[in-house]
A and B are shown apart, each in its own frame.
Chain A
Amino acid sequence: DTGVSQDPRHKITKRGQNVTFRCDPISEHNRLYWYRQTLGQGPEFLTYFQNEAQLEKSRLLSDRFSAERPKGSFSTLEIQRTEQGDSAMYLCASSLGFGRTGAFFGQGTRLTVV
């Protein structure tokens, strides 16, 4: 499978716990993006990487959120001290260059904070 892969697909956690999601982009893609999607809304940009460098972070990304992309390959998104408002679908996408031909999305990780 050469698509974008995300793990886990679903995560239920108790409020206050830390969670980490993983994204494996399409192998030749140098850009990797994280988006968050709540029910009834379109995806909202969180952050993106070009290779291993994190180049932009949205103001939606509070200091409880951290993302890494070591060696410019897979990426992780960690949420510390989760809150109920963090419940959402977290989507990863990748593109070659700045994605003028479109970014390709993974299946997402559905986070539920109880």
Chain B
Amino acid sequence: GQQLNQSPQSMFIQEGEDVSMNCTSSSIFNTWLWYKQDPGEGPVLLIALYKAGELTSNGRLTAQFGITRKDSFLNISASIPSDVGIYFCAGLSGNTGKLIFGQGTTLQVKP
């Protein structure tokens, strides 16, 4: 079935550093979403992207919808310890609302 590939799989960075992660797909999506999941909790929506080429920010987070509609990236600037968690990209499939998720990027931040 459809699959999204996220990279890197994990990152271990120093507090204050910037982070970049991306997500690629073999299929076109019309909407890309980025979620963050803490251990034992459900995913929390961070950013939604609707148009190819769109660049959207939410505080220190910035995400872009690739112009081919097959990729997206998420940047986190000036990382802080509470940024620790697993970041998932998701593509919205058709009009069903079904989300196709990547396998996640695990972020660890060293104070």
Contacts and interface: CB of A to CB of B under 8 A. Distances in A.
Contact of B48 (A6, A33, A101): A101
B55 to A, nearest CB: 17
A43 B98 contact: no
Given A40-B103, A41-B103, A41-B104, A98 B95 contact: yes
Interface string B1-40: 0001000000000000000000000000001010100001
A41 B6 CA distance: 11
How extensive is the interface on chain B, given as a class? 20 to 34
A100 interface: yes
Nearest to B4: A42
Contact of A42 (B40, B95, B104): B104
Given A43-B43, A105-B42, A110-B40, A99 B97 contact: yes
Nearest to A92: B42
Contacts of B102: 42
A45 B99 contact: yes
Nearest to A101: B48
A45 B98 contact: yes
How extensive is the interface on chain A, given as a class? 20 to 34
A42 B88 contact: yes
Nearest to A55: B96
B101 A43 contact: yes
A110 B48 CA distance: 27
A97 B96 CA distance: 9
18 contacts: A40-B104, A41-B103, A42-B88, A42-B102, A42-B103, A44-B101, A55-B96, A95-B97, A98-B94, A98-B96, A99-B97, A100-B50, A101-B48, A102-B45, A103-B45, A105-B43, A106-B42, A110-B40
